Chain A
């Protein structure tokens, strides 16, 4: 009986939704596989809040050459099958407005929708994360790990450590421990770290923290026994504050712990309280609000009561700004694609062209009001990352303060490893890699 009413309700819902769709002219659609509940809700609400606010800001300023942006959210709770279901439901567009790209902000969902995105010709944007070998656009035409892929992340950290030691040659004999989350995301960089350890001569110890990372006593006691010079924290979720607290318990100084791109937010440091003071993390964009684009959002969106954040104090935090940056990159790609394909709503394939020709230099960033917020980027057919530089910030007890300039990853070293992996994938799947030299704008293969 219950099932019957469920089925009839479903039929009713679907027929109703079919009846009520109105056609939307001249709109570009962004499907949002967002997560606002569950263990990673802090990151999700911040990121999607920033993304939506930026889209609203663009709309308030005439859209993209007159084309308004529209979006709809589908809650995934960071669960892969929900992400897949949301993808399948939303990929066709909304009321006639075609979908531009998907931004799931989840490694698991990205993996699961990678092949579908390629088959459906819809770009999959995995900003600051994703499958590292998707940097090679010749094998992965529709996946974009914008700005920073996991290999670049650790390479930049090693370069910073080298800087602190007085030069990369001074790394010889130093001890570095990497504490990583026990998941594919966490393990992804272990091989590259070993390669870097062999190259520069430092002793690398890899310690795994089983998911979710509530208890790290034994790992940190091991670290205490090792007495390393630096600890690289590749955490996620609750693992981060617990790591900092346990470090304090064993007496390891927080200012020798460097967190990666998913251990760098206020929600990772603040719950650890006093134990987080001095903790260093990387970031591809500063937190804070004194950038023209953020002030524009403040005036035109938030002040009018349209802000997406439930807690206005989170304006300008790391995840919020990441969402804004993601918005800037997505919209810029649409804009660049419109220059070639016309000032109208574009299909996923056309937006992909836009992404592959994404070029943000200082002048353009200044025009966008994001100078200093976004790093200079140049993507191409074979390079879907485009940047690979990070800045370092330090937690002072209540906020992040930048302590370094842009530190570049050693992309020349990483590229052959990435290509080996992507070509293995291509062989396994029977894909022929695209010939990127055909593409005239593919000038710089390696950053």
Chain B
């Protein structure tokens, strides 16, 4: 009743091509953005910004990066954390060695370096397919972690190899407070998601999906496999690099190469599997699940009388619960939370009718 497109007509071709064709969708999105940019800074507190919202946003962006590569272009990758690390360290070095470089430009350059590294490790994808491609990206994962620790130039010759984020400032506005960091992250993430959404709706996106579904047929059709696959790696690397820079600068404030280890790659893979391969909204849903689930459990457990269950046991139970939930998800809804949301929307369009 409320979610229908009855009465909404396009009078121009541009209106027909819009991403959000329903007026309700557009209103909903603008309300959400308004809430996120304007209301949340007033309503939130330190804990919410620093420990929940910022990692949620950064992980969604990382999920988007991996989703472009794996969900849309069909190239399996377990090296996402390595590309994030490259982005973080590259941004740090640009900020350090190019005095006066604006923060956003440094992040973009960091993303660019990550894109180049991703292309390098994506070259084998031209010859290797499917599961075996994991090996190339795993090689990237381990090699990058090693290289960043080995060559102390990357960490400005600090004895321990840990870099510490510079002051965050855009045109004189100091962004170091939790609210400032949140707004910076939100702005970058929203911008890059807009870019990503447009990418997947474009010809490049359709080429990616063709390659994912059957690359031999795509080649036969005339799609340039080399260019398409390498572009997938490059763009995915760029997104992951910027996500890594945000992770280091706005979330943790510091980064050691082991913060971007194989567990992080698995975490991002979980995000896109749970959220939904090949969907944009799914990245947010998956990241929300990954970030909120441990926190929720931990908070629930803190409500129990102290000493009822040993703190260590709780952690073990949480691990088991997480694993079980993943299996349940894969059994019940293999296409992820995004598909659940889609089903809900389809029901909403017909409501109060059933079909």
Asked if chains A and B are in direct contact (CB within 8 A), the reply is: yes
- Residues 316-336 of B at the A interface (beta carbon under 8 Å): 316, 319, 329
Alpha-carbon distance A10/B48, docked complex (angstroms): 13
Indicate whether A34 sits within 8 Å of B149 (C-beta atoms), given known contacts A3-B288, A9-B300, A183-B256.
no
Alpha-carbon distance A425/B165, docked complex (angstroms): 11
A115 touches B253 (CB 8 A): yes
Alpha-carbon distance A1/B303, docked complex (angstroms): 24
Total A residues in contact with B, Cβ cutoff 8 Å: 56
Complex contacts, A114 vs chain B, CB 8 Å: 164, 253-254
Alpha-carbon distance A43/B244, docked complex (angstroms): 30
Indicate whether A421 sits within 8 Å of B312 (C-beta atoms), given known contacts A14-B299, A183-B256.
no
Complex contacts, A132 vs chain B, CB 8 Å: 159
B253 touches A116 (CB 8 A): yes
Indicate whether A3 sits within 8 Å of B256 (C-beta atoms), given known contacts A41-B312, A184-B161.
no
Chain A interface, DSSP helix/strand/loop, else mixed = helix
B160 touches A188 (CB 8 A): yes
A188 touches B159 (CB 8 A): yes
Q: Nearest chain A CB to B9's CB is how many angstroms away?
A: 34
A78-95 contact mask (Cβ, 8 Å, vs B): 1 or 0 = 001110110011000000
A13 touches B300 (CB 8 A): yes
Complex contacts, B121 vs chain A, CB 8 Å: none
Alpha-carbon distance A334/B252, docked complex (angstroms): 29
Complex contacts, B310 vs chain A, CB 8 Å: 36, 310
Indicate whether A77 sits within 8 Å of B55 (C-beta atoms), given known contacts A6-B293, A6-B296, A429-B164.
no
Q: Nearest chain B CB to A375's CB is how many angstroms away?
A: 25
Alpha-carbon distance A184/B289, docked complex (angstroms): 31
A108 within 8 A of B: yes
Indicate whether A182 sits within 8 Å of B149 (C-beta atoms), given known contacts A80-B252, A112-B254, A188-B160.
yes
Indicate whether A184 sits within 8 Å of B47 (C-beta atoms), given known contacts A10-B299, A36-B315, A45-B312.
no
Alpha-carbon distance A114/B254, docked complex (angstroms): 9
Q: Nearest chain B CB to A307's CB is how many angstroms away?
A: 12
B287-306 contact mask (Cβ, 8 Å, vs A): 1 or 0 = 01100111110111011001
Alpha-carbon distance A80/B267, docked complex (angstroms): 14
Partner of B312, one of A37, A80, A82: A37
A190 within 8 A of B: yes
B296 touches A425 (CB 8 A): no
Q: Nearest chain A CB to B75's CB is how many angstroms away?
A: 27
Partner of B259, one of A10, A108, A185: A108
Alpha-carbon distance A236/B355, docked complex (angstroms): 61
Partner of B316, one of A37, A187, A211, A421: A37
A425 touches B164 (CB 8 A): yes
Alpha-carbon distance A73/B301, docked complex (angstroms): 11
B224 within 8 A of A: no
Q: Which of A20, A34, A36, A184 has the most CB of B within 10 A?
A: A184
A1 touches B340 (CB 8 A): yes
B252 touches A81 (CB 8 A): yes
Closest A residue to B156 using CB positions: A428
Complex contacts, B302 vs chain A, CB 8 Å: 17, 72
Q: Nearest chain A CB to B20's CB is how many angstroms away?
A: 22
Q: List 27 A-B contacts (CB under 8 A).
A: A2-B337, A2-B340, A3-B288, A3-B337, A7-B292, A13-B296, A13-B299, A16-B303, A38-B315, A72-B302, A75-B314, A81-B251, A84-B51, A84-B251, A85-B295, A111-B162, A112-B252, A114-B164, A115-B164, A115-B253, A183-B256, A187-B160, A192-B159, A210-B146, A211-B258, A310-B310, A428-B156
Residues of B within 8 A of A (CB): 46-47, 50-52, 55, 96, 146, 149, 156, 158-162, 164, 166-167, 251-254, 256, 258-259, 285, 288-289, 292-296, 298-300, 302-303, 306, 310-312, 314-316, 319, 329, 337, 340
Residues of A within 8 A of B (CB): 1-3, 6-7, 9-10, 13-14, 16-17, 20, 34, 36-38, 41, 45, 72-75, 77, 80-82, 84-85, 88-89, 108, 111-112, 114-116, 131-132, 182-185, 187-192, 210-211, 310, 421, 425, 428-430
**14 additional contacts, CB 8 Å, given A73-B311, A114-B254?**
A3-B337, A10-B299, A13-B300, A36-B311, A41-B312, A84-B251, A88-B51, A111-B162, A112-B253, A114-B164, A115-B164, A116-B50, A188-B159, A421-B158
